[in-house]
Structures are given as C-alpha cells and as structure tokens.
Amino acid sequence: MNNETTQKPLRWYDAITMNIYYLAITLRSQTLTPLIVPLLVQQFVGEETKGSSYGTVRLVSLMVALLVQAIAGSFSDRSTSRFGKRRPFIAVSAILEILVFIVIGVIAGTMEGMMGYYALFAIVVFSMVSANIGHGAMQGLIPDLVPAEKRGRYSAIKAFFELPLPLIVVSFTVSRMISAGKLWAAIITVCAVIFVCAVLSLFIRETPQKGPVEKVDWESIGRLLVMTLAFTTIILALGWGVRLLLPYFQTLNSTMAVILTGIVGILGMLLAIAFGVFLSVRISLGKQAKERPAFTWWVINRLAFLVGANNLSSFVLYFIQERFPQYAGASAAAPTAQLMLIVGVSILLISIPAGWLTDKFGKKPLIFLSGILAGVGTLLVIISTNMLLIYAGGVLIGLATGIFFAANWALGTELVPANESGKWLGISNLAGAGAGAVGAYIGGPIGDGAGYVVLMALYGILFFFSTLVLHKIKKTE
C-alpha cells in the first residue's frame, strides 16, 4: 500500500491509550458471555435445551463477529480520516454498544419465552457487529505504531486491559449486581466503562494516513464473506453430526456413552479447528496464504487454545450448577464471579512480566508453557470435589492465559504484512470468534447430553493440542 505517514514518537501513556478500548470490549464480553446471556437463555428456554440454545446464539453471533472484524480491519487500513486510521471506528463502536446494552435491559425486563429468546438472539448478533467495528480497527494499532523490538511489552499491556482488568471489574461490580437482581445497575456500569474507554482512545497518537491509498478491494471483501460462510458451514455440519449421534449414545450404558460422546466431541472440534482454519485462510487470502503458511498455523494454535479458554468461562456457570446442586439458578453467578476474579488476578500478576519474558526468551517457548499450564489447570477443575480446588485450577488457567495472550499476539504481529495488518489480524479472528462458535455450538449439546464435566475435559485436551502445532509456525520473509 502506497501511503505516507510520519509517526509521532512513543510516549509512556501511548501503551495505555492504544490498548484501553480492549477493557471495554472484554468487559462487555465478560458481562454478556458468562453472565447475562446464559442466564437469560436459561430463563427463556428452560433447563432441557439451555446448552444447545446458548450454543446456537454463540455460533451465529460469533460468525458475524468474524466477518465484521475482518472487514472493519480492512477498511481501517485504508482510512484517510483526519482523525486517524483507527480512532473513528472505535468511536462508532462505542456509541452502538451503549445502545445495545440498553436494549438488552429492555428485553430482560419485558419479554419471556421464545419471543424473549429470539429478541435476545437478534440483539446479541447486532452487538457483535457494533463491538467488532472497533475491535477490527484497533488490532492494527500495535503494528502501526510500535517498533518490533517493543511489541512484546505493548502486547502485554494489551493483555492486561483485555483480560485481568475487565475480569476483576466484573467480579467486584457487575456480577454482584446481577446476582442481586440489579440488572440495570450492571448495564449502566458497563455503559459508563465503554464511554470512558472510548474517550481515552481519542488520545491515541495516530498520524492521519495520507494518500494515495489502495481502493477498497471488493473481491477481497467477497472472499471474507465466502470465508465466513465456509467456516460456519463446517461448524454447522460437524455440530449437526454430533447432535445426530448423541441420542444413539444415550441408549448405551453410561460409561460407554460418556466415552463415545467424548471421542466424537473432540474429533468434531479438532476437525473444525484444523480444516476450518486451513480452508478459511485459503479462501480469504488466496495465494498470499501459501506465501505465509506460518500465519495459518498461528491461527490454528490460537484457536485451539481459545476454544478452551473462552468456553471454560462460557459454560462455567452451568458446570458449577451441575457439580454443586446448592448453586441453582442465579445463585451460581456468585461462585462464577469468584472464579473469574481469581482467574483475573492471576492474569494480572503475570501479564506484564509475560511481556518482558516474551521479549527475553522468545514467543514460542512461552506459548508452549501456557498450553501445558492451562491443560493441567483444567484437569484440576474437572476432578474438583469443592470450590477450593476449582479456584486452584483457575489460578493455573489464569497464569497460562496471561502468558498466552502476550506471547501469542506478539508472535502474530510479526507474521502479517505491515501495510495490511488490520485485514490480516482481523482474519485471525477465526480464532477469537471461532473459539466461541466451535466450543459452544459443538460443545453445548455435549454438555446437555453427557454433562459439563465431559465438556470441560474436551477443552483441556485442546490446550495440549495447541502446543503440538507450534513447531509448524516458522517465520518467512
């Protein structure tokens, strides 16, 4: 891309302004995904199909997120706005997200049954549009503004705002409000954080991009649409296969049913991860995908890890309800929030040191360590007989996640073309959005049919699988 920019020198606060909106994005996600949406789905559809119904919401909304994030990243790459390449997208995203949360509050207070479910479904899908307008653009900020030798540290600051801080805020404020039945107080809190983060993002020291820039490549946009449809079709087909087999397994003795469900479930997720990413990257990038094969393997590594990490939080409320009958209904929100707090504090403690360790010892060794730690932490969770052991597993998962987010993102920024970072890192949302879609759409019926302990075990296997593909990530110039 032929463009002229003279970037301003970095100041200490640039690490804050260019990453602060990740706090808003993750806060809205951690409020919706493990708390508001599963509780409202449970309220609207009942106990019997809550996992499958929630999985369907996740699949559709996250595939929309995948498409919008990649398109927003591509458009922001070409933006010549006098306000900067990325900042206008963040501002629009914030305004729309505040409106989304207001509508969710109205739905929760005025609707019931399947009408409530369909309305919730629609607004969650729209939320993925509004959130990813900003998310897709801001992913280009570190490649735009930060020299390669400092990206580990800046990625660690990104991880800090993206993970521990929002988890802690949710645990101490939003989750307690929801547990106490004060949904509107939680919504107002989230909206206030989104507003403040958006305002601070306006101070990002972007230099406006001057022309000439490449025109929008509509063929590339078409490829992104086909990519999304292909990835969605793969997940739908594999999820349909799992749902088709589960009733048959349930006619067998309980042990055999659990074993076969586990085997089919993990095979379905692995196929969705590997085949889905290979086909999707090939469709979206064409011959460029062959020129940079490490990018595809990086997305596979990222997706495998995030299927486990994202969906542990998505289904932990149902897991706690199943394992500890005393936590029925909304009462499970309190221990869920406590676990999120512990995970958040663990991420907080490791996220900044992880950036320094990444720059010192390299990205791939730290990514390998994170997969092992997360797998062991998940094992502790699934063998737990009390909440204390679950919290111990949460510590390991939190440490692993903090390390992974810093090291993995720093590695990814080195694998994409500098002049198309928004587009390529938007495509990498095959991992971010795909994680929820794969883990929830395929995993939801497994939780309904075989239990959420089995489902958590599958996520643990995926952590270990993520380490196996690291040797395929070889940087090419």
pLDDT per residue as tens digits for the range 298-308 = 999 999 999 98
Comparing CA positions, the residue from 266, 144, 253 lying closest to residue 206 is 144
Cα–Cα–Cα angle for 125, 160, 5, rounded to 5 degrees: 80
Nearest alpha-carbon partner for 337 in 438, 186, 444: 186
Q: What is the pLDDT of residues 346-359, one digit of tens each?
A: 988 887 788 888 88
pLDDT band of residue 329 (cuts 50, 70, 90) is: low
Burial of 4 (0-12, 13-18, 19+ CB in 10 A): exposed
CA distance 379 to 171: 24
Q: Is pLDDT of 6 > 60?
A: no
Q: For residue 180, which amino acid is it?
A: A
As given in the structure block, the two tokens for residue 43 are: 């309220």
> Cα–Cα distance between 419 and 341 in angstroms, integer?
38
Give the separation between CA 62 and CA 125, rounded to whole angstroms.
8
* Short-list 412, 464, 461, CA closest to 298: 412
> Whats the size of the chain, residue-wise?
477
Tell me the mean pLDDT in the region 350-373.
88
Q: CATH code for 14-472?
A: 1.20.1250.20
**Model-level pTM?**
0.74
SS3 4: strand
Give pLDDT, residue 301: 95
Q: What would the pLDDT profile of 242-290 be if each residue is shown by its tens digit?
A: 989 988 887 888 889 889 999 999 999 999 999 999 998 999 888 888 8
Q: pLDDT at residue 4 above 50? A: no
Cα–Cα distance for residue pair 141/205, rounded to 1 Å: 10
**Confidence category of residue 330, pLDDT binned at 50, 70, 90:** low
Joined together, the tokens standing for residue 412 give 């990814």
Q: What is the pLDDT of residue 476?
A: 57
Sign of CA dihedral 233, 236, 237, 238: positive
Q: How confident is the model over 420-434, as pLDDT tens digits?
A: 776 787 777 777 778
Q: What is the pLDDT of residue 1?
A: 42
- Compare 371 and 83 and report the one with higher pLDDT: 371
State the average pLDDT over residues 451-471.
93
Query: What Cα–Cα distance (Å) separates residue 458 from each residue in 174, 192, 438?
Result: 29, 37, 12
pLDDT of residue 146: 86
- Peptide bond before 445: cis, by omega within 30 degrees of 0? no
Tokens representing 168 are 């802690």
Q: Is the pLDDT of residue 2 over 50?
A: no
Rounded CA separation 60/127 (Å): 12
